[in-house]
Amino acid sequence: MRLLVVEDDPDLSEQLVDALREAGYAVDLTGDGEEAEFLGETEPYDAVVLDLGLPNVDGMTVLEHWREAGKTMPVLILTARDRWSDKVAGFDAGADDYLAKPFRMEELVARLRAIIRRSGGHASPIIECGKLRIDTRASRVTVDGAPVKLTGQEYRLLAYMAHNLGKVMSRTELTEHLYDQDFDLDSNTIEVFIGRLRRKLGTDVIETVRGLGYRMAEPEDGA
Partner whose binding site includes residue 194, from DNA, a copy of itself, none (CB under 5 to 8 Å by kind): DNA
Stretch that binds a copy of itself, among 47-55, 87-95, 98-106, 177-185 (CB under 8 A): 98-106
Subset of 122-151 contacting a copy of itself (CB under 8 A)? 138-139, 145, 151
Please give the order of strands across the beta sheet that includes 126-129: 126-129, 132-135, 140-143, 146-148
The one among 55, 211, 220, 223 contacting DNA by CB under 7 A: 211
> Strands 47-51, 75-80: parallel, antiparallel or unpaired by DSSP?
parallel
Find the shortest distance in angstroms from Cβ 132 to DNA. Answer: 18
Residue 88 beta carbon to a copy of itself: minimum distance, rounded to whole angstroms: 16
Residues 18 and 213: their CA atoms lie apart, in Å, by 31
CA end-to-end span of the chain: 32
Which of the stretches 82-90, 133-141, 160-168, 191-199 binds DNA when contact is defined by CB under 7 A? 191-199
* Residue 154: Cβ within 10 Å count: 18
How far, CA to CA in Å, does 5 sit from each of 32, 68, 82, 104, 114? Answer: 11, 20, 22, 16, 17
Please pick, from the candidates 10, 11, 152, 182, the single residue that binds a copy of itself as defined by CB under 8 A.
Answer: 152
Q: Report the partner that residue 125 touches, choosing among DNA, a copy of itself, none (CB closer than 5 to 8 A by kind).
A: none
Question: Least distance in Å: CB of 7 to DNA?
Answer: 22
Cβ–Cβ under 8 Å, residues 1 and 155: no
> Of 65, 198, 200, 215, which one interacts with DNA (CB under 7 A)?
198
Count of CB atoms situated within 10 Å of the CB of 217 = 13
CA distance 216 to 194: 11
Other CB atoms closer than 10 Å to residue 21's CB: what's the count? 13
Rounded CA gap, 175 and 178, in Å? 5
Nearest-Å Rg of the Cα atoms of the chain is 18
- Choose among DNA, a copy of itself, none what residue 118 binds, the Cβ cut-off being 5 to 8 Å by kind: none
Q: Report the partner that residue 106 touches, choosing among a copy of itself, DNA, none (CB closer than 5 to 8 A by kind).
A: a copy of itself
| Candidate list 119, 164, 170, 175; residue touching a copy of itself; CB under 8 A | 170
- With beta carbons less than 8 A apart as the criterion, state whether 35 and 58 touch: no
Report the partner that residue 123 touches, choosing among a copy of itself, DNA, none (CB closer than 5 to 8 A by kind). none
173 binds a copy of itself (CB under 8 A): yes
Q: Where does this chain bind DNA (CB under 7 A)?
A: 149, 151-154, 171, 179, 184, 187-189, 191-195, 198-199, 208, 210-213
